[in-house]
A and B are shown apart, each in its own frame.
Chain A
Amino acid sequence: MIQHILRRALRSLQENLSLNLVATGVIGATVLLSGVYLSAIQTLDRVVESWDRDAHVSAYFQPDIGVEFRFATKDQISARQEVAEVSYVSEQDAADYLTERVPEVDTILDELGPEVLPASLEITLVPSHATPAGIQAFVDSVSGTPFEHIDYGQEWVQRFHTFLTLLRGLGLALGLLISLAAIFLVGNTMHLVAYARRAELETMKLVGATWGFAALPFALEGCVQGLVGGSLGLLGVFALHQVLVAKLEDALALALAGAELSFLGAGWGLALLGASVLLGVCGCLWSVTRFWRKAL
């Protein structure tokens, strides 16, 4: 039986080469699009992760807060479990830091006095709290006296997180649409293959073939289409990744803030390949079943 199924699948692949190539191409294009989307999402995730890791809070003291109270506050904050590190920056340290980086402001600072820059605490949170929600909770808990202003530079990271969540949702919907379109296209392409073989299907049903016997060669064709199309799609994603890394390495390094441009890992690659095989098999079975039901 297996021999018959293999023989018929091979024969059909040969006889309907152009239609099979179209179905393979559709699957390949679907995998390529999905792969590029997943790579982009993974890269953006890494960028956000790196930003989160670097997240720190600058808490600026009110000018009338004494040095002793500032250090007492520093000790209190250091003792908190969500805090990894705290350093005190005096007015003079801040002025020195600024002058070191922008020597031109030296004279301005001389005229205004070093106290123009407030003293501050530079707080780094432990990684488990270095999330937009964790930082916000920490800032809320330390806001007010003795601090005049707390800058944590994470508002836009939070917005980016929201944007990324939306992007994921949009990508998922888009991926679903692409997959449905691919199933439809592969199914219809295979329907043409089934149509070309309608006489054989009709006759097989008349002489007592089971649905499984008729459908298995088609499923095998779908499997081959999925494997070839999926592999080509993944190869396309890899080639695109290599080209982007080689040609745009410097520009991307700046844009991605040091995070590397992601290529799908083995897990995702295998998942996409599995999905493409499933797509091919489902498309083929769908078409042959539609035809089988209509036959006498």
Chain B
Amino acid sequence: MIRLYHIDKRYGDHQALKDVNLHVAKGEFVYVTGPSGAGKSTLLSLLYGALKPTAGKLLVGGVDASTMPKSRLPFLRRNIGVVFQDFKLIPNRSVADNVGLALEVLGTPRAEIDRRARAVLNVVGLSGKEERMPQDLSGGEQQRVAVARAIVNDPAVLLADEPTGNLDGAMAIEVMEILLSINLRGTTILVATHDGGLMKRFPQRTLRFEAGRLVGGQ
């Protein structure tokens, strides 16, 4: 599902990723870990097309994301769900509207958006909170809304950048359980985290980065 060949990424003089080679199979659940500045977020940004590699080749779902023109980027992203540490929810839109946005951009009819948003909110345990505003929810609930938005259009890949970074222990466990249940339905998941406790509690393949190099988990 994801293949990286000799990927380098530089920001000026700073080399964020060095000669990274990697293969993640379809349906895998993978942790991406390492200290701050190791290159975890850079890797995820390359995968959803926010950044382009300085060198190397990067395939996501068979599509070469390293040479993709900007005009094709939206079509890559429609097959990738992304969850951020800071949730990135739209504050003046209801929970259902936030979740439905991923379907709205595809031109899905309103009734279908409402139906699927409700269904996916049920999966993440937020049934009955469709019309609430994000700021009225707890941190854990907001992250679950972000997860619901990321999976509502059934993407092949789900990327989560420190999804539990802003959550306390119980809420972090809730979110991880949801991600694992989504993985069981066949979605390939990459979670960037440095939460050793969670990785120990939910053991999965772990890619370890240090100073831009992949040092473990290949």
Residues of A whose CB lies within 8 Å of any CB of B are 1, 3-4, 15, 199-200, 202-210, 213, 296
Contact = CB atoms under 8 A, between A and B. Distances in A.
A40 B91 CA distance: 51
Contacts of A4: 104, 107
Given A199-B88, A200-B93, A203-B101, A208 B75 contact: yes
A207 B92 contact: no
Contact of A208 (B74, B91, B110): B74
10 contacts: A3-B110, A4-B104, A15-B92, A199-B88, A199-B90, A204-B105, A205-B74, A206-B77, A207-B77, A296-B50
Contacts of A207: 77-78, 101-102, 105, 149, 153
Interface string B72-103: 00111110001000001111110000100110
Interface residues of B, number: 25
A206 B50 CA distance: 9
A4 B90 CA distance: 17
A6 to B, nearest CB: 12
B90 A206 contact: no
Contacts of B89: 199, 203
Contacts of B98: 203
B90 A200 contact: yes
A210 B74 contact: yes
Given A199-B91, A210-B74, A296-B50, A204 B107 contact: no
Contacts of A199: 88-91
Given A199-B90, A203-B101, A206-B82, 17 more contacts: A3-B110, A15-B92, A199-B91, A203-B90, A203-B149, A204-B101, A205-B74, A206-B48, A207-B149, A207-B153, A208-B74, A208-B75, A208-B78, A208-B105, A209-B74, A209-B105, A296-B45
Contacts of A3: 110
Contacts of B92: 15
Closest 9 A-B residue pairs measured CB to CB? A208-B78, A208-B77, A209-B105, A207-B102, A1-B107, A296-B50, A208-B74, A210-B74, A200-B90
Nearest to A7: B110
A27 B92 CA distance: 29
User: Interface centre among B48, B74, B82, B153, by most A CB within 10 Å?
Assistant: B74
B63 to A, nearest CB: 13
Given A3-B110, A4-B104, A203 B88 contact: yes
A213 B105 contact: yes
B96 to A, nearest CB: 14
A192 to B, nearest CB: 15
Interface in B121-170: 149, 153
Contacts of A296: 45, 50
